[in-house]
């Protein structure tokens, strides 16, 4: 597995350099596809000319290693298609186009709902069936074409994993593009494809986040106070992968609290002060 890991790391570094040195999305996509194909060819040669030491190693390869490369390939191809067909002018037209494309990608998860939930919850009890080539079952889905043509380097679900990973990244990117079009807030720095990005997920309550959003709006800390609540809420939904629902109604509930109107903000202050005090105690 060390050889596989080295190839993946080299690919990620090349893609990172490619993104840093070029702003042309078409060039980046084309070169990204080329880099991914080169890595896949290297991986295929290694697999065909050797034998996995155990079923566990083969499962790890087809569940994690190969999909990590194929997902990048899918991402670059789809991103090229998205941008090449995207309307060149008009916020409304672009927003509609990106929303429709997002819905198209999301349909994939609905069509593969059972396996999607299996994969996302980290289940393993069916891995022998999904990720061992000797146990692969025939599935007449378009992402399985590779299995038919190259059974030496595929399993029934390795392409499905790759597609899930790629589409999730694309959906995040599209949502950020929509936010940028609607609000003028450029959050591209938050999301860079395959540059060791980390999706930020809000794990507190929706009420806490809404309280924070209203606090930020009240102090005018965003866009010199010119942004509105809708813009801030939309940006936070995209950034943290959360649907805030009816945040106006939630704010009304916060406002009429009988005790502690600003529970979350008070907690933040207390925790920060405590952290500072602890740091002070540790420093000489």
Output the CA angle 249-252-258, nearest 5 degrees.
Answer: 140
Give the pLDDT band of residue 239 (cuts 50, 70, 90): confident
Q: What is the pLDDT of residues 19-58, one digit of tens each?
A: 889 889 999 999 999 999 999 999 999 999 998 999 999 9
Roughly how many angstroms between the first and final C-alpha of the chain, as a whole number? 46
Of 226, 202, 235, 232, nearest to 214 (Cα)? Answer: 232
The pLDDT, as a whole number, for residue 139 is: 52
**Lowest mean per-residue pLDDT among 91-95, 170-174, 178-182, 211-215:** 178-182
Question: Is the dihedral angle over the CA atoms 79, 80, 82, 86 positive or is it negative?
Answer: positive
The pLDDT, as a whole number, for residue 148 is: 42
Give the best-scoring range by mean pLDDT among 75-79, 198-202, 237-241: 75-79
Contact 210, 251 (CB under 8 A): yes
Q: What is the pLDDT of residues 115-138, one digit of tens each?
A: 988 998 888 999 999 999 887 665
Cα–Cα distance measured from residue 165 to residue 148, given in angstroms and rounded to the nearest whole number = 22
Question: Structure pTM?
Answer: 0.66
Question: Is the dihedral angle over the CA atoms 83, 84, 89, 90 positive or is it negative?
Answer: negative
Cα–Cα distance measured from residue 93 to residue 99, given in angstroms and rounded to the nearest whole number = 10
The CA–CA distances, whole Å, from 125 to 57, 58, 119, 154, 164 equal 15, 15, 11, 19, 19
Q: Which residues of 20-48 are buried (b: 16+ CB within 10 A; e: fewer)?
A: eeeeeeeebbebbbebbeebbebbeeebe
Cα–Cα distance measured from residue 39 to residue 52, given in angstroms and rounded to the nearest whole number = 19
Across the range 175-195, mean pLDDT stands at: 65
Cα–Cα distance measured from residue 212 to residue 268, given in angstroms and rounded to the nearest whole number = 10
Residue ranges of the domains in the chain? Answer: 2-190, 206-282
């Amino acid at each position: 597995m060390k050889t596989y890991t080295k190839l993946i790391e080299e690919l990620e570094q090349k893609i990172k350099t490619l993104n840093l040195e070029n702003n042309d999305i078409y060039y980046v996509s084309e070169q990204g596809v080329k880099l991914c194909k080169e890595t896949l060819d290297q991986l295929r040669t290694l697999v065909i000319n050797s034998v996995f030491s155990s079923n566990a190693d083969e499962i790890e390869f087809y569940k994690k290693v190969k999909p990590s490369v194929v997902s990048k390939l899918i991402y670059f191809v789809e991103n090229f298609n998205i941008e090449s067909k995207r309307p060149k002018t008009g916020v409304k037209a672009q927003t509609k186009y990106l929303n429709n494309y997002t819905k198209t990608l999301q349909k994939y998860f609905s069509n593969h709902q059972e396996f999607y939930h299996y994969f996302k919850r980290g289940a393993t009890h069916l891995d022998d069936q999904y990720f061992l080539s000797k146990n692969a079952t025939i599935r007449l889905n378009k992402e399985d074409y590779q299995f038919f043509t190259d059974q030496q380097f595929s399993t029934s679900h390795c392409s499905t994993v790759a597609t899930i990973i790629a589409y999730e990244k694309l959906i995040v990117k599209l949502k950020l593009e929509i936010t940028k079009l609607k609000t003028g807030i450029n959050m591209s720095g938050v999301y860079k494809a395959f540059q060791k990005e980390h999706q930020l997920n809000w794990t507190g309550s929706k009420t806490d986040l809404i309280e924070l959003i209203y606090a930020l709006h009240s102090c005018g800390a965003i866009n010199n106070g010119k942004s509105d609540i809708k813009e801030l809420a939309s940006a936070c939904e995209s950034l943290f992968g959360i649907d805030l629902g009816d945040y106006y109604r939630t704010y009304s509930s916060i406002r009429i609290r009988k005790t502690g109107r600003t529970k979350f903000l008070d907690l933040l202050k207390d925790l920060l002060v405590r952290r500072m005090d602890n740091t002070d105690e540790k420093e000489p």
